[in-house]
Structure 1
Amino acid sequence: MHVEAVQGHTFINDGCCYQNHTFEAPLNYSDPQSARLSIFAREVRLVGDENSAKPWLLFFQGGPGFPSPRPNGHSGWLKAALQRYRVLLLDQRGTGHSSVITHQTLAHLSSTEQAEYLTHFRADNIVRDAETIREKLGIEKWSTLGQSYGGFCTLAYLSLFPDSLLQCYVTGGIPSIDRPIDDVYKATFKRTEQKNKAFFRQFPLAQQLCQKIADHLVNNEECLPNGQRFTVEQFQQIGINFGMSDTFLPIYYLLENAFVDVNGTEKLSYEFLNAMLSEQGFQTNPIYAILHESIYCQGSSSQWSAHRVRQQNEQFNYQQGQPFYFTGEMTFPWMFEQYTNLKPLQGAATLLAEKSDWGDLYNPEVLSSNKVPLSCAVYADDMFVEMALSCETLSKIPNSQAWITNEYEHNGIRADGERVLERLFAIGDQTAATLV
């Protein structure tokens, strides 16, 4: 596959050298004559490592639909990685500087054209981009680090191109490779309920505050700073933060400060409403909303799985006078009716939810004979990626090792990245030694 490459701007910061790379790749790898995409990746190495023999480490960002990190300093997981590797931070197709997808860039397409275009932005094609970049850079083999959805990409890479990989490290991102999508969301809602109970147990007043906010939204029209009507369902979605460490207290503080007196009438404060808008990453990164359920689909449609499973968990459908529950990492059809920047994508979202001929993302037969050391941090209390399903998958992949821990939430690599990655390095070294 012919992939154009352009070396770009280079700069130095905090002992690290950063070099930009831009590649050209086909939208559809089955049709080399299809539209071309621009794929961006940023190389990071220690100053003085320009001619070193250090191997490469490719970073797969979580998501789907978010760009690679923009490091601000030589710290965290990057500090640990640079001791061993030259690092490549990939903006997955559709994110960052890689032919970005937003409501603006899709506006010229019909709903059918949008849906067709978006079918090419799942893990299999992200991996094909990575593989062609590896070839273009002349790298014989490299290692990968995948956070969250980056772990899904890792298993796709191990399925498609295992001979290109030295070692793989995954933090909070080992998916089920064969379960129906509803099984995923049944587990996710159960975890989310547990997180709600833990939050309200720690902050008993928070339940009263949440009900007050929710009742106010039912009975009054409040708009976010972008003019969008703010609803109970949108308010519930800030519960996604419960999957990250040290978020209970900041959310409680937000609730405490929700109302302001305006000439004798209680209104939601601008400060609170602005904070709620800043929580809506769907507005700027629509891939996360429109393709989220498709990352679990192989030969079947999602049919709005999270919405259907939610109906089996009525406690998440708020009714006045009943306890309030936040939701978590789920997407719902109503989002494309309510969110300003998702409304133009409603038709495409419906088509993708109904699509039943999704290709396979993983190859169980290839994974069952895996020879690449696969080292994983599996978080016991992970609200987004169910531990039991992760362990089920790893039991089918030889030369995989899991560090199961309750020390961290889903964002362990951000909370304590240097320690987490060093632990995975040690596990990987031990596994590699047994393969020699």
Structure 2
Amino acid sequence: MQTSFIDGDVLYRQHTFEVPLDYSQPNAQTISVFAREVVDLGRQDDALPWLVYFQGGPGFASPRPDCRSGWLKRALKQYRVLLLDQRGTGNSTVISHQTLAHLSASEQADYLSLFRADNIVRDAETIRVKLGVKQWATLGQSFGGFCSLTYLSFFPQSLSRAYITGGVPSLIRHADEVYQATYQRVQDKNVAFFVQFPSAQAQCQKIADHLLDNDVRLPNGQRFTVEQFQMIGINLGRSSANVPMYYLLEEAFVEANGKETLSYGFLNAMLAEQSYQTNPIYAILHESIYCQHTASNWSAHRVRDSFPQFNYHKGETFYFTGEMVYPWMFEQFKCLQPLQDAANLLAERTDWNDLYDVKALANNTVPVACAVYAEDMYVEMQYSLETLKEIPNSKAWITNEYEHNGLRADGERILDRLIQLADSVANLP
């Protein structure tokens, strides 16, 4: 099915493709993958080069733009853009506790194992062929950058350029090493936040103590715990997030019938922060993005033992956590509870396929331009540079001007810089 609409001077054309669920069995079960083509209305019939966008996550749909702005504004100057809803997200065959309810835990685990970067890239390659595109460029944000390096590994002949923002992974390091670095970055962000807002430490302790002493329920009926409260620290790695976070903490309590309690508004905001509820791939496959022939065995949970300051006790300093997934989430989060057994099976799984071909990347000829954020809380800068050192024809723009969400904060400038960087690589003798 293909439909289209016009908004201002931009044409949006919707595409739906049927692709194999399992590419090792191409004639068996299929799933649908949705993608939205975006092009300057005045150039819709021009032979423009294509740019396919890989969203961060894993487990989130591609952006739903409503105007020409940000990185898309820059891209439309020279590209026809394809916003890909990665398998399991958005308008592609959806993964949720509802759609998986009819499967056993082992069936859920086997099914979900097919929704990693390797098959996301195979979907993109299938779509490229179906659209009759000889080559296209990729723009990968965060996990989307991981997908870009998988694409460069498997199908380098299909790519003209690769632009990556905040998403250059280690090719070889175990998940444990990734989280050892990540916890340190999260601790640094905590220190910076509480230096900026000294009174917030006492308020966080007050909230945490209240949760320890009382059975507090979120609007969905789920008990709200200290561990869940700590998880809003994921925002500390995004620009312009500290002040809104402080305002939220500042208004956490309300007096009801002469007694202080957490306000409904605060609790509703806390539920809204739990994107794992509506995007379960983000939880259930999060650690698998680091797995190649090894099990994660709940890596972030185990590594946390090396950072006991993140385990809050009354009278101690409060620390937020970050972008980590824990087994208790599948006990506490209402929409993840039906997937608990599958999550445990996936955490124990060792037969994960390779996501990268180190030898292929060592012979790379595609211009690769990357924005590497020096203070990135989500992706360790040193591991990114370690990877790029092994990939010829790659260049990094290392900057502390932006946090991990730089593409959203100032996308037009960032993409323009990366396009220039890739052009300079392409013009090297």
For residues 202-281 of structure 1, the aligned pairs below 5 Å read 202-281=196-275
How far apart, in 2, do the equivalents of 1:325 and 1:99 lie?
38
Residue 90 of structure 1 aligns with which residue? 84
Residue 428 of structure 2 aligns with which residue? 434
Residue 57 of structure 1 aligns with which residue? 51
3-state DSSP of counterpart to 1:229: coil
Quote the offset at 1:270 in angstroms: 0.2
How far apart, in 2, do the equivalents of 1:376 and 1:408 lie?
13
Residue 3 of structure 1 aligns with which residue? none
How far apart, in 1, do the equivalents of 2:290 and 2:174 lie?
8
3-state DSSP of counterpart to 2:77: helix
What is the letter of the counterpart of residue 418 of structure 1? E
How far apart, in 2, do the equivalents of 1:372 and 1:14 lie?
35
2:366 corresponds to 1:363: no
Quote the offset at 1:33 in angstroms: 2.9
3-state DSSP of counterpart to 1:311: helix
For residues 281-300 of structure 1, the aligned pairs below 5 Å read 281-300=275-294
Quote the offset at 1:14 in angstroms: 2.4
3-state DSSP of counterpart to 1:39: strand
2:381 corresponds to 1:387: yes
1:172 is matched with which residue: 166, 170, 176? 166
Quote the offset at 1:265 in angstroms: 1.1
How far apart, in 2, do the equivalents of 1:161 and 1:292 lie?
24
> For each residue in 1:323-361, what CA deviation from the matched residue of structure 2 results, as whole angstroms up to 9, or x when unmatched?
000000000000000000000000000000000110100
What is the letter of the counterpart of residue 410 of structure 1? H
Cα RMSD for the two superposed structures:
0.6
TM-score (norm 2): 0.99
Residue 329 of structure 2 aligns with which residue? 335
Quote the offset at 1:54 in angstroms: 1.2
Quote the offset at 1:367 in angstroms: 0.1
For residues 398-413 of structure 1, the aligned pairs below 5 Å read 398-413=392-407
How far apart, in 2, do the equivalents of 1:34 and 1:363 lie?
27
What is the letter of the counterpart of residue 386 of structure 1? E
How far apart, in 1, do the equivalents of 2:8 and 2:332 lie?
43
How far apart, in 2, do the equivalents of 1:117 and 1:226 lie?
28
2:147 corresponds to 1:153: yes
How far apart, in 1, do the equivalents of 2:66 and 2:227 lie?
35
> For each residue in 1:394-415, what CA deviation from the matched residue of structure 2 results, as whole angstroms up to 9, or x when unmatched?
0000000000000000000000
Are the equivalent residues in 1 in contact too, given 2:296–2:348 (CA < 8 A)? yes
Residue 117 of structure 1 aligns with which residue? 111
How far apart, in 1, do the equivalents of 2:333 and 2:43 lie?
46
What is the letter of the counterpart of residue 229 of structure 2? F
How far apart, in 2, do the equivalents of 1:255 and 1:88 lie?
39
Quote the offset at 1:53 in angstroms: 1.8
What is the letter of the counterpart of residue 389 of structure 1? Y
> For each residue in 1:408-436, what CA deviation from the matched residue of structure 2 results, as whole angstroms up to 9, or x when unmatched?
0000000000000000011011001115x
Quote the offset at 1:34 in angstroms: 2.6
Are the equivalent residues in 1 in contact too, given 2:291–2:352 (CA < 8 A)? yes
Are the equivalent residues in 1 in contact too, given 2:166–2:379 (CA < 8 A)? yes
3-state DSSP of counterpart to 2:192: helix
Are the equivalent residues in 1 in contact too, given 2:9–2:42 (CA < 8 A)? no
How far apart, in 2, do the equivalents of 1:14 and 1:431 lie?
35
How far apart, in 2, do the equivalents of 1:145 and 1:327 lie?
28
3-state DSSP of counterpart to 2:379: coil
Aligned length: 429
> For each residue in 1:245-264, what CA deviation from the matched residue of structure 2 results, as whole angstroms up to 9, or x when unmatched?
01111111111100111111
What is the letter of the counterpart of residue 342 of structure 1? L
Residue 138 of structure 1 aligns with which residue? 132
Q: Which runs of 5+ in 1 are unaligned?
A: 1-5
Quote the offset at 1:32 in angstroms: 1.4
3-state DSSP of counterpart to 2:43: coil
What is the letter of the counterpart of residue 200 of structure 2? A
Quote the offset at 1:180 in angstroms: 1.2
How far apart, in 2, do the equivalents of 1:224 and 1:156 lie?
39
How far apart, in 2, do the equivalents of 1:374 and 1:33 lie?
34
How far apart, in 2, do the equivalents of 1:14 and 1:116 lie?
44
Residue 28 of structure 1 aligns with which residue? 22
What is the letter of the counterpart of residue 142 of structure 1? W
For residues 303-314 of structure 1, the aligned pairs below 5 Å read 303-314=297-308
Quote the offset at 1:140 in angstroms: 0.3
Moved over 2 A (4+): none
Q: Which runs of 5+ in 2 are unaligned?
A: none
Are the equivalent residues in 1 in contact too, given 2:137–2:162 (CA < 8 A)? yes
Quote the offset at 1:56 in angstroms: 0.2
